[in-house]
Amino acid sequence: MPGNEIIGKEELNELKKIFTVSNGVLFAHAFDKRRKRIFRIRIFEKKLANFFRTDFVQCVSSGTAAIKIALKAIGVKPGDEVITQGFNFIATIEAILDVGAVPIITNIDDTLNMCPKDLKKKISSKTKAVIPVHMLGFSADMEKIKQICKKKKIPILEDNCESVGAKFKNKFLGTLGDVGVLSFDFGKNITTGEGGAILTNKQKIFKYSREYHDHGHELNPKLPRGLDTVKIFGFNYRMTEMQGAIGIAQLKKLNFILKENKFRYKILENLIFEKFKIRKKIKFNEPSYDTFMFEVDNFRKKKKIINFLKKNNIGTKNVPDALKWHFATYWKHAIKKSQINSLDKSAKKIHNYIAIPILIKKNINIYKKIANYINKI
């Protein structure tokens, strides 16, 4: 369930405070007196750090920006190889390419995330980072991935843009590696319209991220912003105060969102698990349950189910309707042909799946209706 479904008076009240209390200051920095020294992005970051039980959080303009900044913060340079997975959003590949690195793509396993066996095969002397992507609510096999990377001394950047709130071994996804990223775009579990965050327990990564996302500003407390010190070049990937305000309100709703997601997901799971293969959940994973994925290897049946979902104003979520943007075999403009050819088995696997979005504003009876229809196919 995306957070945009329950945007309401709480978000509006937080936005109003920018104008009634902080005199309309929308910028992340400076204007201390005018804004009454209230910095909503900093408040949002502290609340995120408390919620996700991590030492440092840096909010940025998008999940894509978060990936790029995190790659630079862990030292990825032009010519380095960065391993990620075939089922993904193209933003991860774009970020790798934008720092001048080379994307190396693994196959997916039954979690539909990174296959640890293939990861092991594709590590080379040029590998400088591994990006497991927790797609559509479910964790990659982080136990095995961490073991492999620890042995090879390769940093892990968790892309948790699509599973905000999910856990593995009671730790939030995005906090298991050296650095993790979240997305708050309009379709995510919580939203600020656009926006993202970098999570880490490593001060060095945080410091670089904070400076790089703001043109290299060191934010020296002893100096006005116009005289601030700088040691690295950076860019503008800042979040706005309006996004920070909305984020404060949305984060308060995340536990409710996760609870409602699970309730609706379990209706589908309990009613159709005997007839269809449901996406694998690894042991100790508590998903965010925002998408229900199951395998239908019969084209005629699959088409009927998709048409039924459309007729009931549910549709599908990325699979199969937006696979062009979510699977590497479509990205010939960004990935070498040899890599695309190595993903044949994964491509066949993902094309057999249907992803049903979990939506809070849909009556629970619609999910029972869907399950009953699927069982009759």
pLDDT in tens, 333-368: 999 999 999 999 999 999 999 999 999 989 999 999
What's the structural domain count of the chain? 2
Which tokens sit at 143? 């136990």
* Mean pLDDT, the chain, integer: 96
- Which has the closest alpha carbon to 114: 96, 134, 99, 100? 134
* Residue 350 and residue 327 in contact, taking contact as beta carbons nearer than 8 Å: yes
Q: What pLDDT is attached to residue 24?
A: 96
| 82 to 3, 76, 92: CA distances (angstroms) | 31, 8, 10
Residue 72 sits in the same domain as residue 142? yes
- Whichever domain contains 10, its CATH number is 3.40.640.10
The pTM for the full model equals 0.96
Residue 153 sits in the same domain as residue 47? yes
Which tens digits make up the pLDDT trace of 254-308? Answer: 999 999 999 999 999 999 888 899 999 999 999 999 999 999 989 999 999 999 9
Residue 1 has pLDDT above 80, yes or no: no
Residue 209 sits in the same domain as residue 283? no
Residue 153 has pLDDT above 80, yes or no: yes
Which tens digits make up the pLDDT trace of 195-224? Answer: 999 999 999 999 999 999 999 999 888 898
Residue where one domain finishes, among candidates 251, 281, 306: 251
| 4 to 75, 185, 240, 241, 363: CA distances (angstroms) | 35, 9, 18, 18, 17
Distance CA 25, CA 240 (A): 10
Residue where one domain finishes, among candidates 221, 251, 281: 251
Percent of the chain with pLDDT over 90: 94
- Whichever domain contains 275, its CATH number is 3.90.1150.10
**For residue 130, what are the domain limits?**
3-251
Residue 240 sits in the same domain as residue 260? no
Residue where one domain finishes, among candidates 251, 267, 283: 251
Residue 91 sits in the same domain as residue 235? yes
Which tens digits make up the pLDDT trace of 217-258? Answer: 998 888 989 999 999 999 999 999 999 999 999 999 999 999
